Amino acid sequence: MNAVIVSSKAAVQVRKAIGNSDISYEKVGRFEGSDFLDYCQSVVKINIQAFITDLDCTDIPFFMEGIRQYRALRSGTQMIVIALDRHEEDGTVHQLADMGIQVITTAPGTKPAAIAQALIKLLPDSAKQGAATEELDTQDVQMERIKDRIYRFTSKLQNSSYLDGADVMDLELPDLPFQEKVIVQERIIGTITIAVMGVESKLGSTHLSILIANYLHRKGCTVAIVEANSSNDFSYIESAYEGIRDFVNPTTQFSVNGVIYYKSSNKMDMSALLAIGYDYIILDIGGYEESEWSQEFYRANAQFVIGAGSEWRQPKIKQFRNTHKKVDQSNWYYCIPFVEPISIADIRKELPGNLVFRIPAHPDPYKSQGESDAMLSKILKPYMGAKKKSSAKNLLYVVIGGCVVIIVVLIILLFLK
């Protein structure tokens, strides 16, 4: 019994590998992120031998979030991810391998048919028996021809008996710290950290941080912003908010519209901030090479990278990306302010495989703006915990409780007579 959530590109080869084996759950196509997350939750509810999916069936942030949710609740189920046209240095592949997930990748230019033979080696024995009745196109799938072009990644590959003789590459993953997200029934438990950093200074990291914080606060979340740089801009923000020129407040924090601001003079470390229990902490790191908090950028759950859209400053974005080419960038969101749609298309061509967004003009970050909210909703949706909603069951309990109270009152009145 298997579950399959794959794109149309991989579906044919998955079918060849599975053959006539039983499929308990199947979805084929390119899905919206929310749909993919729903499908993963559906698979959680059934007992299967293997869960097969591929990176092309949805956007990477939603894909990784769905995999994490499933892994948290079904850690014992075999998971196989197909990654077509991905180099061995791909950050997403490395992240999946570090999670102990079996990943089949094909180098760009390899025929999709190559994955069938690789997949059949990873499937449980029952699936292999089912595939025995399926006739594979041996002319297209010659393992000798693709031997040096297909890689299987997993943290447990060295001890996997069913991959003896396969072309296995040992992984050297970057030793980067991270904060683990604990997910129960689609609700993210704990504090989500969001880092905002510019590839150079003076790109508007503070403006974007405030924009994100106010957006999350309007969603009913508790939010704090940390001035993780030495600009002292938060003191000026507090002065403007109080309406007093050169206002000086000796405290290390203040509140504006429900969002807590921590000034750069505050020496509180991240562990202390996380212990407070905010829903979200926004780190306004500023320029990449200027802040002492740069390492916190890698630890964050989501990373916003700001770059300039002008042609003479665009190379800084590419330089930043190349500096981190061996680091997983699946949760990195390159944001370009004050740029025309035609220019953002050119920047996306220079950053293949990365998520690039155009930040609309938004002069006042304390006011809601439809275009900005739409952009932030698209980026932050994987990090938004599900809100508690009144269910029909809860409503029934309320009605029953009300009826009981009325009956008790009537009985008391009856005896009083």
Per-residue model confidence as pLDDT tens digits over 226-261: 999 888 889 888 888 887 777 777 788 899 999 999
Residue type, 392: A
Is there a common fold for 2-163 and 182-383?
A: yes
Return the CATH number of 182-383, one of 3.30.9.10, 2.40.160.20, 3.60.20.30, 3.40.50.300. 3.40.50.300
Segment 108-137 shows an average pLDDT of: 62
Domain edges within the chain? 2-163, 182-383
Q: What CA–CA distance (Å, rounded) separates 21 from 125? A: 10
Instruction: Name the more confident of 246 and 18.
Output: 18
Buried b (16+ CB within 10 A) or exposed e, 138-150: eeebeeeebeeeb
CB atoms within 10 A of CB 63: 26
Tell me yes or no: is domain 2-163 CATH 3.40.50. yes
pTM given for the model? 0.52
Q: In what order do the strands lie in the sheet with 332-337?
A: 253-256, 259-262, 223-227, 280-287, 192-198, 302-306, 332-337, 355-359
Query: Residue 112 pLDDT more than 50?
Result: yes
Specify the pLDDT at position 267: 56
CA distances (Å), 174 to each of 39, 55, 87, 396, in order? 31, 21, 17, 52
- Nearest partner of 2 among 54, 36, 48, judged by Cα: 48
Q: What CA–CA distance (Å, rounded) separates 150 from 166? A: 9
152-193 pLDDT tens trace: 433 333 333 334 443 433 434 344 344 443 333 334 457 899
- Mean confidence (pLDDT) of the chain: 77
